């Protein structure tokens, strides 16, 4: 067993970890909304106004901070008026991006914003730039957020909602370099400014940012759009196990080599954050524009026999370690990363929740979000850890990832993961000037491809971890192979 030295300097406060880094994304795609969140009032599945009670409770338990909706690619095909008013009159449309299925619009603006209120999270609405108009977007914002008298607010009241909702974040389009209209950055930045001027009512406007590490797009946006016009620039990057979109790799049956390759690929997020930050820094030294990683996660092949347009995959211990690596990176970069939204919340891609009829399962990724939740709104403090490199087929990557924060009550939270499948690490951690008296910890550890399913929902769950010794300014423990550990010091 290798011993690794770790140091934490709790006096070196680096940045606030916005709660929105623990955000989520729900698109009209496959069974994310329909079946996953919304089952309709007449369903035998317990619900309030059609929204699943079990899902709301699970989301409240992890203090879900923000939810992005209605897409994704769907957002740039969405006409909000189709989703308001009596359900029987709502227009049925074809979901052109996701399986060509009929979208009956029974889940629309009211259902989404009421859902956010029930969960207690901020709303992040993506406007339709690709196939909509500035006027349509401006009227939607007015409908949702205005307290004044106007035809839009009258319409809202007629549809049963007196008070405006709070929409904290608005995204001006989605992937407008791709499914959102195949625009170039010049064209999009001009269009962005038009939407910025008229689509008012949210606290923060977020522009479409780069596809993965496209620094050219970021450069163009940062040079053409100022901090008074955008508060966030979004970024999308997915981890694909094989790095090949035609054959992404299975979400359940994969070898140890594939496990390592996937995690090696996910560390590319660190490169992206560094490169993107460098460009943003040149134009915005004061960090007024946040990097908003509003789509990230593992994208594998769909489960055999399921609709290829529904992006349904399972979730294993590999997803848990991958989530821990990315969340630790976002924490470490929280001076620039102001929000991140894993894709997607229920039944799609790296979901935290899977449903099948009335059954619901919390995936290993859900448990990582649960274990990391104490970082929300805390202050990132300096930490460093000696590391061991793992040699994967596609390159090397660090075995250990970590981040440390101190919350408003002075409690310290350490989250640390070990990607190795054959090595435990003895960690000796120095915390100078530590006055902590008690330590407690939870661990998530199982075989690398272990998962929770509807017959065995609790195969991968966090357990209490007693193996930590705190003596004065020193913390020591053994970090098991293939694990995610969350430590609290009081």
x/- string (CB under 6 A) for ligand AHR, residues 345-384?
----x-----------------------------------
**216 CB-contact burial (10 Å; exposed 0-12 / middle 13-18 / buried 19+):** exposed
Residue 250 lies near ligand AHR (rule: CB under 6 A): no
Report the b/e string of 77-105 with b at 16+ CB within 10 A: bbebbebbbebeebeebebebbeebebbb
With CB atoms as reference, the residue minimizing the distance to ligand AHR is: 72
By CB atoms closer than 10 A (0-12, 13-18, 19+), residue 457 is middle
**20 classed as catalytic:** no
Give the one residue of 23, 35, 50, 72 binding ligand AHR; rule: CB under 6 A.
Answer: 72
**Catalytic option among 175, 270, 374, 379:** 175
Give yes or no for residue 181 binding ligand AHR (CB under 6 A). Answer: no
> How far, in Å, CA of 312 to CA of 324, rounded?
21
Nearer to ligand AHR, 250 or 295 (CB): 295
Q: Is 359 helix (H, G, I), strand (E, B) or coil?
A: strand
Catalytic residue, candidates 27, 122, 295, 374: 295
Distance, in Å, from the CA atom of 343 to the CA atom of 238, rounded to the nearest integer, reads 9
The Cβ-side half-sphere exposure at 348, using a 13 Å CA radius, reads 27
- 26, 39, 51, 73: residue in contact with ligand AHR (rule CB under 6 A): 73
Based on CB atoms, which residue is closest to ligand AHR, 47 or 365?
Answer: 365
Contact 293, 340 (CB under 8 A): yes
Can residue 258 be called a binding residue for ligand AHR (CB under 6 A)?
no
For the CB of residue 98, give the shortest distance to ligand AHR in the complex, in Å.
Answer: 8
Rounded CA gap, 383 and 432, in Å? 12
175 is known as an active-site residue? yes
Among 47, 109, 145, 174, binds ligand AHR (CB under 6 A): 174
Radius of gyration for the chain, computed over Cα atoms and rounded to the nearest angstrom: 22
Q: How far is the CB of 97 from ligand AHR (least distance, A)?
A: 7
Q: Is 175 in the site for ligand AHR (CB under 6 A)?
A: yes
Shortest Cβ 243–ligand AHR spacing (Å): 16
Residue with tokens 């929000």: 339
User: How many CA atoms lie less than 13 Å away from 268 in the CB half-sphere?
Assistant: 20
Catalogue the E-assigned strands of 95-175. Answer: 102-103, 122-127, 169-172
Total chain residues near ligand AHR (CB under 6 A): 11
Please, what is the minimum distance in Å from the beta carbon of residue 75 to ligand AHR? 8
Cβ proximity to ligand AHR: between 112 and 260 the closer is 112
**Positions marked catalytic:** 175, 295
Q: Rule CB under 6 A: which residues touch ligand AHR? A: 27, 71-73, 174-175, 236, 295, 343-344, 349
């Amino acid at each position: 067993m290798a011993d690794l030295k770790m140091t934490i300097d709790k006096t070196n406060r680096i940045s606030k970890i916005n709660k929105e880094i623990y955000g989520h994304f729900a698109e009209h795609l496959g069974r994310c909304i329909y079946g996953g969140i919304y089952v309709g009032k007449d369903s035998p599945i317990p619900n309030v106004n059609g929204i699943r009670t079990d899902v709301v409770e699970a989301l409240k338990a992890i203090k879900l901070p923000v939810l992005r909706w209605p897409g994704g690619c769907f957002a740039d095909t969405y006409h909000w008026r189709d989703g308001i008013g009596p359900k029987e009159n709502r227009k049925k449309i074809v979901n052109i991006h996701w399986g060509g299925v009929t979208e009956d619009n029974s889940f629309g603006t009211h259902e989404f914003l009421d859902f956010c209120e029930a969960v207690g999270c901020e709303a992040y609405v993506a406007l339709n730039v690709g196939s909509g108009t500035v006027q349509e977007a401006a009227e939607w914002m007015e409908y949702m957020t205005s307290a004044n008298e106007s035809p839009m607010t009258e319409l809202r009241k007629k549809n049963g909602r007196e008070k405006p909702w709070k929409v904290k974040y608005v995204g001006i389009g989605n992937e407008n370099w791709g499914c959102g209209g195949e625009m170039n950055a010049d064209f999009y930045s001009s269009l962005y400014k038009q939407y910025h001027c008229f689509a008012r009512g949210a606290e923060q406007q977020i522009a479409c940012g780069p596809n993965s590490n496209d620094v050219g797009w970021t450069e163009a946006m940062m040079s053409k759009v100022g901090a008074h016009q955008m508060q966030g620039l979004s970024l999308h990057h997915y981890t694909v196990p094989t790095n090949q979109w035609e054959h992404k790799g299975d979400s359940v049956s994969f070898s140890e080599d594939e496990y390592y390759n996937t995690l090696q690929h996910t560390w590319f997020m660190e490169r992206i954050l560094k490169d993107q930050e460098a460009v943003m820094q040149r134009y915005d030294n004061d960090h007024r524009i946040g990097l908003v990683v509003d789509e990230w996660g593992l994208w594998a092949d769909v489960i055999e026999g399921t609709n290829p347009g529904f992006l349904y995959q399972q979730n294993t211990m590999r997803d848990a370690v991958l989530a821990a690596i990315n969340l630790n990176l976002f924490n470490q970069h929280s001076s620039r990363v102001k929000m991140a939204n894993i894709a997607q919340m229920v039944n799609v891609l790296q979901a935290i929740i899977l449903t099948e009829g009335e059954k619901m399962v919390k995936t290993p990724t859900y448990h990582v979000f649960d274990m990391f939740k104490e970082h929300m709104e805390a202050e990132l403090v300096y930490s460093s850890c000696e590391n061991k490199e793992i040699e994967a087929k596609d390159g090397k990557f660090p075995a250990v990832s970590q981040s440390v924060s101190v919350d408003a009550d002075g409690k310290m939270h350490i989250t640390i993961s070990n990607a190795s499948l054959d090595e435990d690490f003895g960690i000796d951690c120095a915390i100078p000037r530590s006055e902590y008296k008690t330590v407690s910890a939870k661990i998530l550890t199982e075989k690398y491809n272990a998962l929770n399913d509807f017959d065995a929902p609790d195969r991968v769950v966090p357990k209490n971890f007693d193996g930590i010794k705190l003596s004065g300014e020193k913390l020591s423990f053994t970090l098991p192979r293939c694990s995610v550990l969350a430590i609290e010091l009081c």
